[in-house]
Structure 1
Amino acid sequence: MSDDAKARKKKGGGMKMILLLVVAMLIGGAGAAGGLYAAGFFGHKEEGPKEDPNKPVLVLAGEKAEDVAKAHGGGEGHEGGAAAGGHRPGKGIDLPAPVNPANYQATYFQMTTPFTSNMSDTDAFAQISVAVSTYYDMRVIDAIKTHEMAIRSQVLMLLAQQPEEMLATPEGKRRLQGRIRTIINDILKQKTGYGGVDNVYFTNFVIQ
């Protein structure tokens, strides 16, 4: 065999080897890429935290709390989410108050029956009528209605611990408002997973 023939044969064998290596790399690369895709490295978009459908939402100014609740699967006549106990009992979380309340719609609810109790240091008794407000949808009010018995029990116990001289002062009444708001929110968080009451109001306050 001539030197030229040997050189051509050697060159052809080298080219075949290179082609085989390239094909092997391509097949191996495709397999690796497929494995990475299956493992989620490619074509997988990380999902952010999903909004809890049971969580009451803020009501924008001009909207109605009932309409917002129905749009999110809750509301009067269809107690979903928080009002229906969509969360297991526990510590729960606070719903944050809006940074700019003027942008949101407050909803008010008057508790129908007054709270009447003797006071801790006298034979006199106090009778108070309580209303609440929330910037969240109707699920918060529905939850108050659903768990009113538990709320009434705790508020009456609190009222019975108050001295007459404290409730006779504006500062004492403001403290009582804050403590009642805490009681209501704590009960809602335990029963439904969320609070949501922004403020408590006295619509009647009598000491006799």
Structure 2
Amino acid sequence: MSDANPEEEKPKKKKGKMKGLIVGLVAVAVLGGGGAAGGFYVAGTMNSEGQEPEDPNKPKIILKDGTAVSEKEAKSAMPEPDASKFTISYHQIEQPFTSNLYSSESFAQLSLAISTYYDERVFENVTAHEIAIRSAVLMELGQQNPVELETPEGKLLLKKKLRDVINATLREKSGFGGIEDVYFTSLVVQ
């Protein structure tokens, strides 16, 4: 019988060693995973939306009460954009634009104003890069068909194209567009 007891103890010892090994591996995995997650969090790679932090130099959106908020804050406060909550600012581009129109002897002359919900830095960027903006607008204007510019739909389409061209130029030159809309303050097609 004394031989039976040592045999029974051996399997118990193996189970005890195996159990201790599994508990040790689980503890290492949990601690290692927690440490890795904490390291990623501290490093800033884990944020709530999976986006990079907002640039502090980026223009701020101006609310009706005059408060400047980041785009991220504005979106979190209002998931559905409501223009009535923001202050819109306008800027007249001083010099008119004159260009020949595509495949014709016609030309167009127009004056533009632009609007934004962002702070004055957008207009500072427009002023700083006005030559590049003028060139881009004239290039787009030169691609227009004079017959289409005589229709309201053609004018609306041109407004959208000019807004996109101005924003693209601003993004290229300053890293941020911010133009909400473009307005014709005069438009002549001959």
Q: TM-score range by the shorter chain?
A: 0.5 to 0.7
Gaps of 5+ in 1: 1-35, 73-95
Is 1:184 the counterpart of 2:181? The answer is: no
For residues 207 and 152 of structure 1, the distance between their equivalents in structure 2, rounded to whole angstroms, comes to: 18
After TM superposition, the score normalised by the length of structure 1 is: 0.61
Deviation at 1:119, TM superposition (A): 1.0
Is 1:156 the counterpart of 2:156? The answer is: no
Which deviates more, 128-137 or 50-59?
Answer: 50-59
For residues 186 and 165 of structure 1, the distance between their equivalents in structure 2, rounded to whole angstroms, comes to: 26
Identify which of 91, 104, 125 aligns with 2:107.
Answer: 125
Deviation at 1:154, TM superposition (A): 1.0
Letter in 1 for 2:103: D
Change over 3 Å in CA distance of 1:41–1:166 after alignment to 2: closer
Describe the SS at the equivalent of 1:184: helix
Query: In the comparison of the two structures, how many residue pairs are matched?
Result: 145
Gaps of 5+ in 2: 1-31
For residues 151 and 169 of structure 1, the distance between their equivalents in structure 2, rounded to whole angstroms, comes to: 25
Moved over 6 A (4+): 39-42
Is 1:166 the counterpart of 2:148? The answer is: yes
Describe the SS at the equivalent of 1:56: coil
Bigger CA radius of gyration: 1
For residues 136 and 118 of structure 2, the distance between their equivalents in structure 1, rounded to whole angstroms, comes to: 23
For residues 176 and 50 of structure 1, the distance between their equivalents in structure 2, rounded to whole angstroms, comes to: 35
For residues 128 and 187 of structure 2, the distance between their equivalents in structure 1, rounded to whole angstroms, comes to: 25
Higher relative contact order (CA 8 A, sep 6+): 1
Which residue does the alignment assign to 1:55?
A: 58
Alignment of 1:107-126 (within 5 A): 107-126=89-108
For residues 173 and 119 of structure 1, the distance between their equivalents in structure 2, rounded to whole angstroms, comes to: 14
After TM superposition, the score normalised by the length of structure 2 is: 0.66
Describe the SS at the equivalent of 1:205: strand
RMSD: 3.0
